[in-house]
Amino acid sequence: MKKNSVFICVVLIFLCIPVVVNAHPGRTDANGCHYCRTNCAKWGLSNGEYHCHNNSSSNTETIVKQKSSDNSIKSIIIDGEKITISESMIYQTTKDKLDIIVIPNSEYAEHEIDNTSLSVGENNITIKVTAENGSVKKYNLKVIREELSNNTNVSIKVDNEVIDFNVDKPNITVSSETENLDYSYILEDKNSTLKVTGDKNLKTGENIVTFTVTSQDNTQKDYVLIVNKSENIGAVVFTIAVLSLAGVAGYKYQKKKKISNVSNY
């Protein structure tokens, strides 16, 4: 009987101790808080709502985290080039379309770019950043698309002499020792390019050398130069000497043959 009385007393003591039950604490951060992901409505919370559990009380204390109002921009990169950020920005290009990367300061912010296709002249692009709490800030980007140049003008020198391509069929003469044409050029527009053909391994006589200039907008113009390579004088003299000797030998042979024929009579 005594043992039963002791057992009943122990049970009564445990029943009198208050039990603290917190609402689905789950995994919490250092502050004892977390985002509600499951059974949120059961506890009067919204899905994803940030709240905390106070373990010192028998009730759950819910703290709602204030949503971020940060709609600022951390960086803007246009075609690989980082630009200075302001509410109104200016950028120049010759392209018809831009690759724009916008990185907001807040990870919860979202952004929109209304247009990246460009026409020649001034283009206005709006970058809209929406913060987590819905506040919006707009950034204006003025893009000036420059018209592509069609400039194909060039100054060409051969052996340090400027070639006048305004005359009909400009031509020059180079020595017999010249293998490759010695030229230099200056393009009037640095965005243009020049390609040369026919300037290597010059042959004796007439050679056609073409300087092709391609402008920024792909307009092309050919500058044609006739290059006359002189004959090797030494070879010419040698040839004349050989022919002369051959002529003298032939003459003597014919004369000797005539004398021999007269003697036979």
Cα–Cα dist 191/261, whole Å: 83
CB 49 within 8 A of CB 40: yes
What pLDDT sits at residue 203?
Answer: 96
Number of residues written out for the chain: 265
At residue 111 the predicted structure's pLDDT band, cuts being 50, 70 and 90, is very high
The sign of the dihedral angle between the CA atoms of 97, 102, 108, 111 is: negative
Q: Which residues of 204-240 are buried (b: 16+ CB within 10 A; e: fewer)?
A: eeebebebbbebbeeeebebebebebeeeeeeeeeee
CA 61 from centre of chain: 55
CB 263 within 8 A of CB 257: no
Mean pLDDT of 231-237: 66
At residue 34 the predicted structure's pLDDT band, cuts being 50, 70 and 90, is confident
**Mean confidence (pLDDT) of the chain:** 82
CB 216 within 8 A of CB 149: yes
What pLDDT sits at residue 5?
Answer: 61
Task: Kindly write down the DSSP assignment for every residue of 163-205, as one continuous string.
Answer: --TTSSS-EEEE-TT--S--EEEEESSTT-EEEEES-SSPPSE
Cα–Cα dist 220/192, whole Å: 10
Q: Is the pLDDT of residue 78 over 90?
A: yes
Mean pLDDT of 204-221: 96
Percent pLDDT > 70 in the chain is 72
- Rounded to two decimals, what is the model's pTM? 0.50
Q: Is the pLDDT of residue 250 over 90?
A: no
Q: Is the pLDDT of residue 224 over 90?
A: yes
For the stretch 193-209, pLDDT in tens is: 999 999 999 999 999 99
Q: Is the pLDDT of residue 158 over 90?
A: yes
Return the top range by mean pLDDT from 114-123, 198-207, 237-246.
198-207
For the stretch 5-19, pLDDT in tens is: 656 655 555 555 544
CB 146 within 8 A of CB 92: yes
Kindly list the structural domains of the chain, giving each domain's residue range(s) and its CATH number in brackets, ordered by start.
21-65 (no CATH), 73-145 (2.60.40), 154-229 (2.60.40)
